Amino acid sequence: YWQQALANAQTAITRFPSAANVSAFTGIETLFPFIQHPTPLQQKALELDINVDGAQLFILEDVTGAGKTEAALILAHRLMAAGKAQGLYFGLPTMATANAMFERMANTWLALYQPDSRPSLILAHSARRLMDRFNQSIWSVTLSGTEEPDEAQPDSQGCAAWFADSNKKALLAEVGVGTLDQAMMAVMPFKHNNLRLLGLSNKILLADEIHACDAWMSRILEGLIERQASNGNATILLSATLSQQQRDKLVAAFSRGVRRSVQAPLLGHDDYPWLTQVTQTELISQRVDTRKEVERSVDIGWLHSEEACLERIGEAVEKGNCIAWIRNSVDDAIRIYRQLQLSKVVATENLLLFHSRFAFHDRQRIESQTLNLFGKQSGAQRAGKVIIATQVIEQSLDIDCDEMISDLAPVDLLIQRAGRLQRHIRDRNGLVKKSGQDERETPVLRILAPEWDDAPRENWLSSAMRNSAYVYPDHGRMWLTQRILREQGTIRMPQSARLLIESVYGEDVNMPVGFAKTEQLQKGKFYCDRAFARQMLLNFAPGYCAEISDSLPEKMSTRLAEESVTLWLAKIVDGVVTPYASGEPALSRIPRCR
């Protein structure tokens, strides 16, 4: 075996692209020429003392539009230029967010390396071959087995084919963008996890939207942070909304990795936006100022029936406004979409349905259509348009609606949804303005929710919104969300961010007795999921030894969810079975059908 392995390794080395040389960090303008004045968070990233030995953890908490991504990349480049890393991997919660980040990175990543280098930028997730820009960026492979850049290829793109032919090798590329799952697999007993660990060695891990992780994923992420720290690598975490409990666990994971006792400070309601830096010897925690441009206030309105929501949609269309209704379940979204079609309140050509159950071919088309009608650059074509959607537009897309209705959801998700309401400055006709005040009506997030009840019973949510009760089973947190939003009447960012989160997720919140059984079940599930996730983490302490089992679990996943199957669609044309979509076979696939 050893002799064969040596021969295979020698062959692999001849195909392995040469390492790229990191460029010196000369300022923010090199990475982001369009930034004339750094945001307060970006300025902090420029000023932080990163010249310390060993691993570091950074947690950046700020509102949407505060430049968290740019701040994280500034930190990453500074760390790389200081010799603390050779590359980075940017992990995101979904494939859609990963695709969007890949597009953004395509304009920046080459500045991380010297001009004479040929680094690789890879997109890492199971459906990456459906993205044309990534496919076009892959270097050609000659018959001799060496990598040759395509001279006709834009300089802003490039990925060696050797990295691109398998996700298990994706993390070996200098710069990676993909789902967080690809990195999490490195600390779980998946095949080739050691190859993923090798890819993460001497790399900075960036993880965005970490508040979106459930109990299972959070525990796996903590294991990944611990491993990064024990290897002496840096980790940068981004979030708009983190609870004290979540922050405590992330810092504790890092401290286990560096084998030091580090404790996160207790933060008050005014301690936001916030930046945390943890090293082997100290924890630096400080408040960050907010740009006036990203301070926003969204009023809260309440609707208690679907009929009232449909009425509101009709009023918005009459005024020429575009409006979104974000539903918690696909079935509810489809039903309301069909109801609107039959009602004739909205012309069919002005009505759009967007959810996760579409085939990839259709989803790509609908996503492009959504960005065209509701995106930042949309103009007169947005007037009177209606989109019925699910959580797919919660984080993935940069859309901007004049009006919005949302089903009741946990407060952190409602904050995300409110970020898609009047997101960009426009005039009264909905056209984008470069500066000044937004001329549209005051933004109001109207929430479909049960009638308020000071002493709710166990069926408070399920009797009014059965599908929402199934999707979000922690009904006590849903009630707490409604209570705090009723009390505040407004989502004021960043001023009320910490108050809203801690009023729902704080450890000392008072839960109504009607939810005693539900609360007990949810607590049990929370700790059970975390314990199960802990069992799925690899124990690296013993190293390779006979006592460690080499058997793999029959079913292993980075996500804890219901079992699902993937359907491949076909159609019969002239008696011949053909793929539903032409081109890449995976375009005919429907993911996660339960």
- Confidence grade of residue 556 (pLDDT, cut at 50, 70, 90): confident
The yes-or-no verdict on residue 154 having pLDDT over 50 is no
Average pLDDT over residues 153-182: 79
Q: Which residues is 205 bridged to in the sheet?
A: 89, 235
Of 141 and 445, more confident: 445
Q: What is the reported pLDDT for 240?
A: 87
Q: What is the reported pLDDT for 386?
A: 97
Q: Which domains does the chain have, with CATH numbers?
A: 53-292 (3.40.50.300), 296-493+510-521 (3.40.50.300), 562-594 (no CATH)
Residue 72, CB-side half-sphere exposure with 13 Å CA sphere: 29
User: Which of 114, 272, 228, 213 lies closest to 558, judged by CA?
Assistant: 213
Non-local CB neighbours of 29 within 8 Å, separated by 6+ positions: 35
The yes-or-no verdict on residue 545 having pLDDT over 70 is no
d(CA 80, CA 74): 10
The yes-or-no verdict on residue 142 having pLDDT over 60 is no
13, exposed or middle or buried, with CB in 10 Å at 0-12, 13-18, 19+?
exposed
Percentage of the chain with pLDDT > 70?
92
Average pLDDT over residues 508-516: 92
The yes-or-no verdict on residue 585 having pLDDT over 80 is no
Please tell me which of 85-94, 120-129, 358-367 the model is most confident about, judged by mean pLDDT.
Answer: 85-94
Output b/e per residue, 132-162; b: 16+ Cβ within 10 A. Answer: eebeebbbebeeeeebeeeeeeeeebbbbeb
Q: How many helices (H) and strands (E) does the chain have?
A: 20, 21
Report residue 136: phi and psi, to 5°: -75, -15
- Confidence grade of residue 405 (pLDDT, cut at 50, 70, 90): very high
d(CA 316, CA 503): 32
Q: What is the per-residue pLDDT across 274-325, written as a single tens digit (0 to 9) for each?
A: 999 999 989 999 999 988 878 889 999 999 999 999 999 999 999 999 999 9
Helix (H) or strand (E) holding 504: helix 497-505
pTM above 0.95, yes or no: no
Q: What is the per-residue pLDDT across 360-385, written as a single tens digit (0 to 9) for each?
A: 888 888 988 999 999 888 888 999 99
Q: What is the reported pLDDT for 188?
A: 93
Q: Encoding tokens for residue 553? A: 């679990």
Q: What is the per-residue pLDDT across 182-226, written as a single tens digit (0 to 9) for each?
A: 999 999 998 888 899 999 999 999 999 998 899 999 999 999 999
Q: What is the reported pLDDT for 460?
A: 97
Q: What is the reported pLDDT for 84?
A: 96
Find out whether 235 and 254 touch, Cβ atoms under 8 Å.
yes
* DSSP string across 368-433: HHHHHHHBTT--GGGTT-EEEE-THHHHS--B-BSEEEEE---HHHHHHHHTTBS-S-B-TTS-B-
Percentage of the chain with pLDDT > 90?
59
Q: What is the reported pLDDT for 103?
A: 86
User: Which of 205, 275, 233 lies closest to 46, judged by CA?
Assistant: 275
Q: What is the reported pLDDT for 62?
A: 93
Q: What is the reported pLDDT for 191?
A: 85
Average pLDDT over residues 250-266: 92
d(CA 89, CA 173): 9
Angle at 39 between CA 37 and CA 45, to 5 degrees: 110
Q: First CA to last CA across the chain, in angstroms?
A: 43
- Confidence grade of residue 550 (pLDDT, cut at 50, 70, 90): low
- Confidence grade of residue 138 (pLDDT, cut at 50, 70, 90): confident
554, exposed or middle or buried, with CB in 10 Å at 0-12, 13-18, 19+?
exposed
Q: What is the reported pLDDT for 53?
A: 93
Find out whether 511 and 438 touch, Cβ atoms under 8 Å.
no
Helix axes 411-418, 497-505, angle to 10 degrees: 150
Q: What is the per-residue pLDDT across 380-403, written as a single tens digit (0 to 9) for each?
A: 899 999 999 999 888 767 889 999
Q: Which residues is 446 bridged to in the sheet?
A: 301, 405
DSSP 126: T
3-state secondary structure at position 138: strand
Q: What is the reported pLDDT for 21?
A: 93
Q: What is the per-residue pLDDT across 35-54, written as a single tens digit (0 to 9) for each?
A: 989 999 999 999 999 999 99
Helix axes 516-536, 215-230, angle to 10 degrees: 40
Q: Encoding tokens for residue 213? A: 């992780």
Q: What is the reported pLDDT for 333?
A: 98
Average pLDDT over residues 153-179: 78
Q: What is the reported pLDDT for 292?
A: 82
d(CA 37, CA 200): 33
d(CA 398, CA 394): 9
- Confidence grade of residue 143 (pLDDT, cut at 50, 70, 90): very low
Q: What is the reported pLDDT for 155?
A: 44
Return the residue matching tokens 């943890």.
278
Q: What is the reported pLDDT for 417?
A: 94
Of 15 and 499, more confident: 499
The yes-or-no verdict on residue 554 having pLDDT over 80 is no
Residue type at 45 in one-letter notation: A
Q: Which residues is 492 bridged to in the sheet?
A: 297
- Average pLDDT value for the chain: 88
Q: What is the reported pLDDT for 238?
A: 96
User: Which of 66, 24, 64 lies closest to 45, judged by CA?
Assistant: 66
Average pLDDT over residues 585-590: 58
Q: What is the reported pLDDT for 546?
A: 60
